[in-house]
Amino acid sequence: MDLEDLRPLPLFTGLTDDQLVELVAAGEEVRIEPGVDLFHEGDHADLWWVLVDGAIELLRRVGREDVVVGRMDVPGRWAGGFRAWDERGVYLATGRGVSVGRLLVVPAAELRARIDAWFPFGGHLVQGLSGTARTIESTVRQREALVTLGTLAAGLAHEINNPASAATRAVDALETVCSTLLLSLGRLAQSGISPDQFIGLDGLRREVEPVATLHDPIALADREDEISSWLTRHGVERDWVVGPPLAAAGADVAWCDRAAHLLGDALEPGLEWVGSTWSVDTLLSEVKESTRRVSELVAAVRSYSQMDRASMQHIDVTEGLESTLVVLGHTLRDGVAVERHYDPAAPRIDAYPGELNQVWTNLIGNAVDAMGGVGTLDVSVRPDGDHLVVEIADTGVGMPPEVAARAFEAFYTTKEVGKGTGLGLDIARRIVVERHGGTIEVDSRPGRTVMRVRLPVARPQP
């Protein structure tokens, strides 16, 4: 590689011709071929790659796909060589050729030797900066991930516990009710009830819908008292067993009179059988509703995590917002009212839904914190030309201008020690701006803070 090829590159401004010749002698020229990998994500970054001409893409493995995270197409841009300062340095992405060109490739050890000889003070600074930044960001990101995972896991466990407990209680009650139903059916058979009487009893049973129960506890208690008194007058000994399911199902004294006229001496086992069938229907409905709720929660989490789905998808943003609201439901229940304003004309967009869900989690979580868990959360989606706008607003105290100006800075937080890392909005900004080619901004005043995200409808170009 000739000296004239490298001298125009801004990267080498300040190097003498002798130094540049020494650097070239320590390395070699590598040709770029379209579609051919030059280095791989996760391998030791033992080589320093400097683009002379041509272009390469930088790809990261996300799930089952290679996702383009950057592009080197400007002469002088470089990649790798991190082991010149960090023994644990690895390539952060895979470099793959896009168009024919050339690279100057220098071993990391040779690069470190040249820097130590030419700029010893600068070499120490780079090594210190690299090590400190790696340690701090790795520690903070790990803690942030663990805290977020713990919060979501605890919330999900709480959400699932309620319907799961309800289903367990219903199943336990079903065992008792089914036993009562079989016993009453046996007593009916022993009482000598005729087929016509049983058919008539089943017809009476079908006239009352168990779903039409009384929701007012006082009204339900009054009806139980009325039916219990009626049962006592008609010689039913186990009125405390027979009466409650009849009242809960919606039967009244008039219905009981018709049943007494039909059943005669078989009144008690007949009413017990009818009440048991209604109880079974009610408990099965509870099991069905509880298991449906558990399935919905699992589906929401699956949608939230984008499990087994491609990274880039053509999505409806409202689905991600809704699954995020479900996952964070435990933080909203006590005092947060959620208002939704989804424009039906809002288009589907090309995006990374799993990453956007992380954005919605950060924004909604911050909004709830800003309101102290009490207030109104307003989530809106609307089209804006060739973009889609998502706004998440809260009724909290708002941000002072000096805080809003620094909201998206990494490690900047106004939360108490131990409650914030300052990475939430920085991560959100990176996902929206760098990964999706959109914008994110804050509009805050006392009583209303709006986080506004604008996303392009079409897939952003690398």
| DSSP string over 326-375 | HHTHHHHTTTEEEEEEE-TTPPPEEE-HHHHHHHHHHHHHHHHHHTTT-E
Residue 137 CB: number of other CB atoms within 10 A? 13
Separation between Cα atoms, residue 408 and residue 429, nearest integer Å: 7
The helix or strand, by DSSP H or E, that contains position 38, with its residue range, turns out to be strand 37-39
Separation between Cα atoms, residue 109 and residue 6, nearest integer Å: 21
Separation between Cα atoms, residue 136 and residue 134, nearest integer Å: 6
DSSP readout, 227-267? HHHHHHHTT-S-HHHHHHHHHHHT--HHHHHHHHHHHGGGH
Task: Please report, in tens digits, the pLDDT of each residue of the chain (462 residues total).
Answer: 778 888 888 888 888 888 888 888 999 999 999 999 999 988 888 999 999 999 999 998 766 678 888 889 999 998 988 888 777 778 888 999 999 999 999 998 898 888 888 877 665 566 555 555 555 555 555 555 555 556 666 666 666 777 787 788 888 888 888 888 888 888 888 888 888 888 988 888 888 765 444 556 787 788 888 888 998 888 888 888 888 888 888 788 888 889 888 888 888 888 888 888 888 888 888 888 888 877 777 766 666 655 545 567 888 999 889 888 887 877 777 789 999 999 999 999 998 887 888 889 889 988 988 898 889 999 999 999 999 999 999 999 888 888 888 888 766 666 654 444 445 688 788 889 888 889 999 998 888 999 999 999 986 554
Cβ contact 110:26 at 8 Å: yes
Label residue 159 exposed, middle or buried (CB < 10 Å: 0-12, 13-18, 19+).
buried
Contacts 24+ apart (CB under 8 A), 175-183: 177/276, 177/279, 177/280, 177/283, 178/276, 178/280, 180/241, 180/272, 180/276, 181/273, 181/276, 181/277, 181/280
Q: Which CATH architecture has domain 310-456?
A: 2-Layer Sandwich (3.30)
Separation between Cα atoms, residue 388 and residue 381, nearest integer Å: 7
Residue position matching structure tokens 């340690």 = 135
List the one residue out of 415, 432, 423, 418 whose CA is nearest residue 136: 423
Cβ contact 119:16 at 8 Å: no
Strands (E) in 360-438, as ranges, are: 375-384, 387-394
Separation between Cα atoms, residue 410 and residue 424, nearest integer Å: 8
Instruction: Give the DSSP letter of residue 83.
Output: G
Coil, strand or helix: which one is 112? helix
At the fourth CATH level, the homologous superfamily of domain 3-118 is Jelly Rolls (2.60.120.10)
Length of the chain: 462
**C-alpha atoms less than 13 angstroms from C-alpha of 412 in its C-beta half-sphere:** 11
Q: What is the pLDDT of residue 341?
A: 95
List the one residue out of 360, 369, 414 whose CA is nearest residue 394: 369
Q: What is the pLDDT of residue 383?
A: 94
**C-alpha atoms less than 13 angstroms from C-alpha of 153 in its C-beta half-sphere:** 6
User: Beta strands 387-394 and 375-384: pairing type?
Assistant: antiparallel
The residues spanned by each domain of the chain are: 3-118, 161-293, 310-456
Q: What is the pLDDT of residue 418?
A: 45
